[in-house]
Structure 1
Amino acid sequence: MRVWKAVAITGVFMSVDVGITTVLYVFSHRDRGVLQDLRDFNIFDSVLDLWAACLYRSCLLLGATIGVAKNSALGPRRLKAAWTFIILVCLFVGIYTMVKMLLFSEVRKPIRDPWFWGLFVWTYASIGATFFLWWLLSTVRPGHTVLEPGAPGEGVGYPTEGQPKQEETSGATLQKLLSYTKPDLAFLVAASFFLVVAALGETFLPYYTGRAIDGIVIQKSMDQFSTAVVILCLLALGSSFAAGIRGGIFTLIFARLNIRLRNCLFRSLVLQETSFFDENRTGDLISRLTSDTTMVSDLVSQNVNIFLRNIVKVTGVVVFMFSLSWQLSLVTFMGFPIIMMVSDIYGKYYKRLSKEVQNALARASNTAEETISAMKTVRSFANEDEEAEVYDRKLQQVYKLNRKEAMAYTYYVWGSGNVSFTLSPGKVTALVGPSGSGKSSCVNILENFYPVEEGRVLLDGKPISSYEHKYLHRVISLVSQEPVLFARSITDNISYGLPTVPFTMVVDAAQKANAHDFIMELQDGYNTETGEKGAQLSGGQKQRVAMARALVRNPPVLILDEATSALDAESEYMIQQAIHGNLQKHTVLIIAHRLSTVEKAHSIIVLDKGRVVQQGTHKQLLTQGGLYAKLVQRQMLGLETGTDDDGGGGGGSRQEKQRFPSSHQEPPDGHGEVHKA
Structure 2
Amino acid sequence: MDTLKKFISYYKPYKNMFFMDMFCAFTLSAIDLVFPMIVRYMLNDVYTNKTRDQITMYVVYIGIGLLIMYIIRYFCQYYITSWGHIMGAKMEANMRSDIFNHLQKLSFSYYDNNNTGKLMSRIITDLFDISELAHHGPEDLFISILKIFGSFIILMNINVKITAILFFLTMFMLYSSYFYNKKMKYIFMKNRQKIANVNAQIQDSLSGIRVVKSFSNEEVENTKFKRGNMEFLETKETGYFIMGKFFSGNGFFQGILYLAVILVGGIFISIGEAKVSDLVIYILYINIFLNPIDKLVNFTEQFQRGITGFDRFLEIINTEPDIVDKPNAVELLNTKGKIEFKDVSFSYDNKNTVLSNLNIKIEAGKNIALVGPSGSGKTTFCSLIPRFYEIDYGTIKIDGKDIRDIKLKSLRDTIGIVQQDVYMFAGTIKDNIAYGKPGAYEEEIIEAAKKANAHEFIMGLEDGYDTFVGERGVKLSGGQKQRISIARAFLKNPPVLILDEATSALDNESEKYIQKSLEELAKNRTTIIIAHRLSTIKNADEILVLTEDGIKESGTHEQLLQDEGIYASLYKLQFEQVS
Indicate the structure (1 or 2) with the bigger Cα radius of gyration: 2
Q: Same fold (TM over 0.5)?
A: no
Q: Which structure ranks higher in relative contact order (CA pairs < 8 Å, sequence separation ≥ 6)? A: 2
Q: So what's the TM-score if we normalise by structure 2?
A: 0.43
Normalized against structure 1, the TM-score is what? 0.37
Q: In proportion to residue count, which structure has more strand?
A: 2
